[in-house]
Amino acid sequence: MREMAASADRDGGGGTGRAAVGRDRQRDTEAVSRFVERFAGELTDAGMQRMAARVFAALLASDSGMMTSAELAEQLQISPAAVSGAVRYLTQVEMVGREREPGSRRDRYRLHGDVWYETLTRRDQLLSRWEGVMREGARTLGPDTPAGVRVAETAEFFEFIQKEFQQVLVRWRDHKAARREAASPEGGTPGPVA
């Protein structure tokens, strides 16, 4: 019984129970570790801080989508201070949330539900701000100067991307709703959608 509780705790707690223990035993932990490190490397190459990328990838690869600082430190073989810095960054960019573990003084870190959707939506807001700055810059530089033309075209590009992106997000929501509806039994509760 103690082994099951320890295994469920390593998986991130949150009521994962026997099903998660069974899945953990079926998984190749080295292969999971390689996946976490490979995906973290991709995120790092895209500009994310290395430790934040590793912590995010570890959370993503956990069944519950949540882990304590100690669990993250143990799995990634990093110091609690490194976990703390990574989590600080991930909470600032709203990719991870922090919650108190019930009946404990420990915090758990949890992935937000639609983390990619939310992250890309914030990128869209960033593009909107950049577009405004570029339009102002084009006026400042003068519409007939080479720099003004280049900056105005950049603003136009950001505007185009935003319009296209909004349509993509709407199509994604529709696609996800259709998958959820198809996965649910008639009249029942929708099944899980990744």
Mean pLDDT by 10 residues, the chain (194 residues): 36 39 64 93 93 95 91 94 93 86 80 76 79 92 91 93 86 90 69 46
User: Burial level of 194, CB count in 10 A (0-12/13-18/19+)?
Assistant: exposed
**Cα–Cα distance list, 172 to 104, 116, 133, 164, 167 (Å):** 38, 11, 29, 12, 9
Predicted local confidence at residue 186, as pLDDT? 65
- Contact between residue 106 and residue 70 where contact means Cβ atoms under 8 Å apart: yes
- What is the phi/psi pair of residue 87, to 5°? -65, -35
How do beta strands 96-100 and 107-111 pair?
antiparallel
At residue 192, the 3 state secondary structure works out as coil
Predicted local confidence at residue 25, as pLDDT? 53
- Contact between residue 66 and residue 109 where contact means Cβ atoms under 8 Å apart: yes
- What is the phi/psi pair of residue 78, to 5°? -130, 165
Predicted local confidence at residue 191, as pLDDT? 47
Burial of 164-188, coded b for 16+ CB within 10 Å and e otherwise, reads: eeeeeeeeeeeeeeeeeeeeeeeee
